[in-house]
């Protein structure tokens, strides 16, 4: 099995784009095309959380903490509903949209 270095979004814009991918591929984030066989819930949230850590200085401590907490809640919602049959997936997607809004506001201030 090949080892692939995970892509870590390095800008707020790239992080917003990744969140858009998450909206489409939630709740499992599995890639059915075969191009990203290593993509799953753990891998995607590793990428998001590493990106938040990398952008921490640009985000500011308060926003970083809020976004990291939202990421943790989002993951819990998606893991609770892997078959997209309960409202947990919808709650996770709502958190994605909220995170995107907060990041867009921060990007405008930069």
pLDDT confidence band for 96 (50 / 70 / 90): very high
Q: Are 27 and 39 in contact (CB under 8 A)?
A: no
Q: Specify if 77 maps to a domain.
A: yes
The closest alpha carbon to 102, from 76, 71, 72, belongs to: 71
Q: Who's near 86: CB < 8 A, 6+ residues apart?
A: 80
pLDDT band of residue 31 (cuts 50, 70, 90) is confident
Domain count, the chain: 1
Residue 6 lies in a domain: no
pLDDT of residue 12: 97
Q: Is residue 5 part of a domain?
A: no
Please give the structure tokens belonging to residue 29.
Answer: 């984030």
Parent domain of 70: 12-109
Please tell me the predicted confidence (pLDDT) of residue 3. 66
32-62 residue pLDDT tens: 887 777 889 999 999 999 999 999 999 999 9
Task: Assess if residue 1 is contained within a domain.
Answer: no
Quick check: pTM over 0.85? yes
């Amino acid at each position: 099995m090949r080892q692939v270095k995970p892509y870590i979004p390095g800008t707020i814009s790239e992080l917003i784009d990744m969140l858009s991918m998450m909206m489409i591929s939630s709740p499992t984030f599995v890639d059915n095309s075969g191009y990203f066989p290593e993509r799953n819930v753990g891998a995607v949230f590793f990428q998001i959380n590493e990106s938040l850590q990398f952008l921490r200085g640009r985000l500011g401590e308060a926003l970083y903490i809020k976004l990291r907490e939202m990421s943790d809640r989002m993951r819990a919602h998606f893991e609770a509903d892997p078959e997209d049959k309960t409202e947990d997936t919808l709650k996770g997607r709502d958190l994605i949209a909220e995170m995107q809004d907060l990041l867009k506001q921060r990007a405008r201030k930069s």
